[in-house]
Amino acid sequence: MNAVAEMKTAAAGLVVSNPGILGGTPVFCGTRLPVQTLFDYLADGLSLGYFLETFEGVTREQATGVLRYGWERIVAELAR
């Protein structure tokens, strides 16, 4: 099976996982930046603005969309 066939998406296409990109680590669509980097920055007390300045390839809409998706997953899990 080729890497394109193994590509997966999440968060309404904002996140992709492809074995050919960083070994399948979830990244922001159109980048090689792991989504975990956003969560690490925020967990370390850095601002969303600073993250976006540091990684210009990620848009505010992508970052906030991923954060909203995470929140929606938490809410859905608690509603079960």
Averaged pLDDT, 34-57: 98
**Residue 80, CB-side half-sphere exposure with 13 Å CA sphere:** 5
Given a cut of 60, whether residue 3 has pLDDT beyond it is no
> 5 pLDDT exceeds 80?
no
Ramachandran bin of 15, using left for φ above 0, alpha for ψ from -120 to 50, beta for the remaining angles: beta
Dihedral of the alpha carbons of 78, 62, 32, 23, in degrees to the nearest 10: 20
How much is the pLDDT for 36?
98
Q: Decide if pLDDT at 66 tops 60.
A: yes
Expressed in percent and rounded to 5, the helix, strand and coil fractions of the chain are 50, 10, 35
The pLDDT tens digits for 15-44 are 999 999 999 999 999 999 999 999 999 999
Q: What's the CATH architecture for 3-79?
A: Orthogonal Bundle (1.10)
**Whole-model pTM?**
0.89
